[in-house]
Structure 1
Amino acid sequence: MSLWVDKYRPKSLDKLDYHHDISKRLKALASSGDFPHLLVYGPSGAGKKTRILSSLRELYGPGVEKLKIDVKTFVTPTNRKLEFNVISSPYHLEITPSDMGNNDRIVIQDLLKEVAQTESVDFSNIVSNMKPTINKKNKFKVVIINEAELLTRDAQAALRRTMEKYSSNIRLILISNSTSNIIGPIRSRTLLIRVAAPTNIEILSVFNKIIEKEDLLKFLPKDEIEREKLLNNIANYNDRNLRKAILSFEALYMNNDIITISTPLIKLDWEEILKKLADSILIKRSVANIQHIRSILYDLLSHCIPARLILKTLVINLWEFCSINDKKYKIKSKDEVKLKIVNTGSIFDERLSLGSKDIFHLEGFTIKVMVILEKDSL
Structure 2
Amino acid sequence: DYPEFLRRVKEERVDLEYKKYLALKAFEFVTEYDALIAKTLKRRFQLDTERLFLSLKKGPPLRYGENPHQKGWVYINQDEKGTFLRTIKKLWGKELSYNNILDAYSAWKLLLELNSPACVIVKHNNPCGVAEGKTILEAYEKALEGDPVSAFGGIVALSEEVNPELAFELNNIFLEIVMAPSFPDEVLSILKKKKNRRLLIIPLKKGRGKLEFRWVDGDFLVEEEDSAILDRETLRIVSGELTEKLLKELVFAYKVVKHVRSNAIVVAKDKGTLGIGAGQMNRVQAVKIALENAGKKAEGAVLASDGFFPFTDSIELAHQYGIKAIIQPGGSVRDEEVINKARELNITMVLTGIRHFRH
TM-score in terms of structure 2 length: 0.23
Which of the two has greater strand per residue? 2
| Structure having greater relative contact order (Cα 8 Å, sep ≥ 6) | 1
TM-score in terms of structure 1 length: 0.23
